[in-house]
Chains A and B, each alone.
Chain A
């Protein structure tokens, strides 16, 4: 029999061509080059993920990404001027803003005031110059052969590199703002945050992908006894694929929260490894979808060590013809005894045409654990709606109140008050715009 030669799609061919053309100029030498080449081979062998790849079943990237936009050029003065307003959702919160326009760090829009125990840099610069932190962690936080991560590694350009030294409590949240214009372009941004022993920090990772195809990845190393809150805010008019790669140490605390609204096609994949005992983690999020939007949340939570507690909690509101996906997999490794993991995802369908797919999975190899998962999908309770309307509240407002209550329980879990309020206000604004 003749060998079957898979036919490459236009986007796959364009990705290969883009890598071929850019490999000489992408930042980094030596080990970085080897890392890129290795990652590129993973992509070449597997191609873009499609619906027969289990992890990508509901988000067929091969079909959704017909072509590759040209790699983004560094921003010109006009692009930077447009980015002045970026990140204003958190205008009321005292943050350290670091701004990236069309995938490139813009120091003049960023707050680089020195702070004891905090080191901040540009990924592109660190890759080019060679850097111990980058060499020690990039590509090593969570071992995965996921193709989106591989493509990011092969083509990674700029992003933030942050180190919080042991014992440092960073007062102001660090707000990464990635903003892109309307011009069709492809971005591969990569960030690294290393939080050393006993340090504390809140990171807000905001992406307004504009009309771009954005592949974003961030590696988060949470040291022993460290406390890290990570909040991701996402908007995208074309395509946004983000990978969060986390490893958490012993007696640490890690909480993530992802908020997505106005996301045409968004995939947030979360790879979290509990690599030390007695750690508590929360992986949560709220997605608001309308029109034909497609938002996919995929989790791979690896309890590698025992005595850890994790809570996974997601709420998705689906209007019009939107499509929400939740895939949550919790793995409890053989020696991770006394693991306590609970996952819950709930979808609220506002029309008959919206679709929510939920796929929770538990893979438990230890025998002394408490693990559970649940998934619900349903419409607004007509009894509740009638009760509110019988008091004079209009149908629109009654629905808004009930939707706010539905997501509120999860939004409440955001530790930082100002960020919590900003997220709720963004949700209320979305509800107000419903017809």
Chain B
């Protein structure tokens, strides 16, 4: 069985139709890139998958391991293994990063019927993970994302992903706003998490990220649907030719 099956998905935001019969399958362990022009519905897909309020599904299905997740709250989806790395991670004043990580991890474990991690186990996990991503201990004591640079926020997203160990990670324009050094750190962090048990959807506007996170498949979205799928060479073709042909085709 595929990990994720999206069938004929229609979704709207504030009455505006964004997804328009999207069909997409993600296999276990697969890294799928989703590319497309601005306004094609890439970020909407990410939000619909994670259950953001205000994103209304009007038709179609989303099946995770064959089970519909449409009626699930965002926290239930997270416990099932769905993780969204935000394009714009929000600042959470007053909530220390460490408290946040610990609350999230234990909440997921509790929902899955697993025991809470002991303090030493948790500290070890955070130390190792943050070390790989070059995140200072001092940052972990600060409120979530408050005063973090763009790059620090993105690294914080990947650290959360590494700690929460999702089965389906959706990376929404994780490359946006990153310089090349930061991009490499983030990509390394993502590549370290590649596993036959974990699938990833890498949403990006540019081919650049895919030099570092090499996808198994590439899907092109336009006007709220997947209009073309192919191997990693498709990304290179897009870089050379642009999206014009797909925008035209879907219109």
Contacts and interface: CB of A to CB of B under 8 A. Distances in A.
A384 interface: yes
Interface string B139-179: 00001000000000000000010001000000000000000
B78 A391 contact: yes
Interface string B61-103: 0000000000001110111000110100110111100011001
Interface in B205-249: none
B94 A387 contact: no
Contacts of B54: 382
A392 B75 contact: yes
A387 B104 contact: no
Given A382-B53, A394-B107, A388 B92 contact: yes
Contact of B90 (A384, A405, A408): A384
Contact of B108 (A384, A392, A409): A392
A430 interface: no
Given A387-B86, A387-B90, A397-B107, A392 B78 contact: yes
Interface in A101-124: none
Nearest to B82: A390
A391 B107 CA distance: 9
A404 to B, nearest CB: 7
Contact of A402 (B50, B51, B95): B95
A383 interface: yes
A401 interface: yes
Interface string A385-407: 01111111111011001101110
A394 B92 contact: no
Interface in A345-383: 382-383
Nearest to A394: B75
B245 to A, nearest CB: 35
A43 to B, nearest CB: 44
B164 A391 contact: yes
A100 to B, nearest CB: 36
Nearest to B163: A391
B52 interface: yes
A182 B118 CA distance: 44
B92 A392 contact: no
Nearest to B47: A386
Contacts of B111: 392
A405 B164 contact: no
A391 B100 contact: yes
A395 B53 CA distance: 12
B50 A390 contact: yes
Contacts of B84: 390
A393 B53 contact: no
A389 B75 contact: yes
A354 to B, nearest CB: 21
B117 to A, nearest CB: 13
Contact of B103 (A395, A401, A406, A409): A401
A399 to B, nearest CB: 12
B99 to A, nearest CB: 8
Give the interface centre of B75, B86, B89, B143 by most chain A CB atoms within 10 Å. Answer: B75
A401 B107 CA distance: 13
A388 B94 contact: no
A392 B75 CA distance: 4
Q: Which 10 A-B pairs have the closest CB atoms?
A: A405-B94, A392-B78, A392-B108, A391-B104, A389-B74, A389-B75, A392-B107, A387-B90, A390-B74, A408-B94
24 contacts: A386-B53, A388-B92, A388-B100, A389-B73, A389-B75, A390-B51, A390-B52, A390-B75, A390-B77, A390-B84, A391-B83, A391-B164, A392-B78, A392-B105, A393-B104, A393-B107, A394-B73, A394-B75, A398-B75, A401-B100, A402-B94, A404-B95, A405-B93, A409-B93
Given A391-B83, A404-B94, 12 more contacts: A382-B53, A384-B90, A388-B104, A389-B78, A390-B77, A391-B108, A392-B164, A395-B73, A395-B75, A401-B95, A401-B103, A409-B93
